[in-house]
Amino acid sequence: MNTKLQVLVIDDDAVVGRSFDRVLTEKGYQVSTALNGEQAMQTMEGKNFDVVFTDIKMPGMDGLEVTERIKARCPWTPVVVITGYGTQANEVRASVLGANGFVRKPLTPEMIESVTLKALQDRDQTNEEVEAPVVEKAVKAEEASVAKTEKAQAAPKSAGRALKDIGLFFASPFIALGYVIALPFVGFYMFAKLGLEAHSKKQTNK
């Protein structure tokens, strides 16, 4: 299983692609190159890249159009625009199209490495910001489900307790009446019992 981070470099100057390949391969990345936008789109078919670098001045499809197409297809993939023709207008347009960075040639090895790391950090931060509300929503949904289940389980118990209380309420007068009716019989029984015990004791003393 290939766990290397995948980098795509799009530039009509093959030297730029080789520079990225030399610097990033030593750092554990796997670098693919394309000489124009059309070739880049074909390279991306069925393959996910962690970072894409694109030149802005190329024959056919320019780097800004490449950025727009990549963002439409893979909005989570960071795209860094590199050029020797940097203008403020291009920077603004690149930013509007969703580019994650805009750097000017010539690129040093240190710049290539730092820009790549920055693009990956931006990607991870974006993913966390997108996932956090989803996770929070899932947790709340689970808590609501548990509360609903507990409420449903408690409902029969509450209903049974209520019925029992109602039954006792209506039965109380009859229970009290039973005690009133039974009291004379209990008293007669106790009186008779004491009388028999006294008679028996008297017979024994004779």
What's residue 168's pLDDT? 58
Decide: residue 158, CB within 10 A, 0-12 exposed, 13-18 middle, 19+ buried: exposed
What's residue 134's pLDDT? 42
Lowest mean pLDDT among 16-30, 50-64, 77-91, 93-107: 77-91
Q: Indicate if the pLDDT at residue 140 is higher than 70.
A: no
Residue 108 and residue 19 in contact, taking contact as beta carbons nearer than 8 Å: no
Question: pLDDT (tens digit, 9 = 90+) per residue, 26-68?
Answer: 999 999 999 999 999 999 998 899 999 999 989 899 999 999 9
6-137 carries CATH number 3.40.50.2300: yes
Sequence-ordered list of residues with C-beta below 8 angstroms from that of 18, at least 6 positions apart, any chain:
33
Give φ, ψ of 83 to 5 degrees: -160, 160
What's residue 18's pLDDT? 95
pLDDT band at 205 (very low <50, low <70, confident <90, very high): low
CA dist 29 and 21 (Å) reads 8
Coil, helix or strand at residue 74: coil
pLDDT band at 7 (very low <50, low <70, confident <90, very high): very high
46 sits in the region (left: phi over 0; alpha: psi -120 to 50; else beta) called left
Q: Indicate if the pLDDT at residue 187 is higher than 80.
A: no
pTM comes to 0.61
What's residue 95's pLDDT? 87
CA dist 169 and 152 (Å) reads 26
Q: Indicate if the pLDDT at residue 124 is higher than 80.
A: yes
Q: Indicate if the pLDDT at residue 175 is higher than 60.
A: no
pLDDT band at 119 (very low <50, low <70, confident <90, very high): very high
Q: What percent of the residues of the chain are helix, what percent strand, and what percent coil, each to the nearest 5? A: 65, 10, 20
Which whole number is the average pLDDT over 14-30? 95
Domain boundaries, the chain: 6-137
